[in-house]
Structure 1
Amino acid sequence: MSDPSKRPSVSGAAQRVWAIVPAAGSGDRFGGEKRKQYLPLAGRPVIAWVLSRLLETPGLAGIAVATAACDPDFEAMAQSIEPPTAGRLMRVDGGAERAHSVMAALERLRSLGAPDDPVMVHDAVRPCVSLGDIERVVEAARNHPSGAVLAEPVRDTLKRSALPHRKTKSLTRASRIEATVDRSRLWCALTPQVFPMDALYRAYHRALAAGKEINDEATAMELAGANPLLVRALAPNPKITWPDDLALCAALLQASKTSPS
């Protein structure tokens, strides 16, 4: 896999765009022997769909993929990427947590890009993101110093349970309702999430040094006093968390192939 040692040039773009895909997680909730980002989906690994879509972004200079230090699947997967990566794909050693993987990728990209270049972070298991939504959130972030997050309004009635999700230990175990939550101002944060490179790096650095829990990039920016924009997603963009999500994503990808252009 090509590993750029100098800044790639992108004609016609005042600012280059960079991408980070944290992919070092084990996917414990999903189960199975193979990590979910490498599971087959409509003939390709899940993460190959993700990277191919990101590579279509206008002005994209490079993608840093943060994987486990000894990742047996990355190189073979990378060779199958379409469109060709043209040296824009690089692997970095990720960390135990998502935040550490993002920081490792930011360290790499800071040696290649400018402080104000937009950097978008996208989940390795969101293969259905549309190019239109990517372009919209990148454009919003270019015009807002606090960045922008692709999101969707909460649609369903929200119930707060007596136990956290992970403490139920089973998808079939019941948990008592504690309260109904007002959803009128609530959004589901998706990815990509896009911020100026140096601002995101400094926000992550401070949050990690303070021992803060960081759920996503917007959380780090919020802890630094920023208020990122919410950009409503116009296309389905599910995250593969449970086995049934694979079938849903396969159906969405098939539908996107047959829909009118």
Structure 2
Amino acid sequence: MNNSKVTLVGAGPGDPELLTLKALKAIQNATVLFVDDLVSAEIVAFASSGARIVYVGKRGGCKSTPQAFIEKLMVMAAREGENVVRLKGGDPFIFGRGGEEVEHLQAAGIRVEVINGITAGLAAVTSLGVPLTHRQHAHGVVFVTGHAKPGDAGTDWRALAATAHSARLTLVIYMGVSGAERIQNELLSGLPADTPVAVIQNASLSSQRHITTTLGRLAYDINLSGLASPSVIVVGDVISGLAQVEEASRDSSAQGLRRRV
């Protein structure tokens, strides 16, 4: 190992106020930042005016910078003596391919530091006032991707549904909107159709939108709402309280409209 170093920094879900102090210091001290597509401009603005910003966008369904090329760029910059930050949306180790990058950098003889960020799945439900675990509703939580790499069968949704039902688990599904219909059909093999679901787009940002629905209506209501990536799908009884409040609000609004008509 030499003195070359790269810091993987979790930028969180987008709201700059959700950055950790350690993440902020790393961003401010960097001379080169390799920035993911989902990192907000407000967070990138914390970088030094003299820092070089390299955008290496990676988003499901869109043209992306090849992972091998990103890793090559980081190695080159670190060996040139730059203070390198790899700025990643959410947390580097939750569906951020941080593990792959750590392995590659260490194999190249480069030290790696990882600074955690708030993952979108947590920020999304927190913004709605909903917990991921609850003594009455959920004994645990599973973070799972709805997007499989080419040639991979991906998540066994039927097995996961059965486990979630028997163990009372909340499911937090990343990158699942495009495959919502397939995921819904598979989960219905082990979970009731009336299982509460929330879908949250652009968690923590001013553009955040969400819907509450049920597993039986998931794909239909996503299409109806126009929600798209980046969104998080949360499945489980922890959503029940929010769903009841929003249903009551919709009923009240409908009654008010009928009275005015």
The one of the two structures with greater contact order (alpha-carbon pairs below 8 A, sep at least 6) is 1
Q: TM-score, normalised by structure 1?
A: 0.28
Structure whose CA Rg is larger: 2
**Structure number having the greater helix percentage:** 2
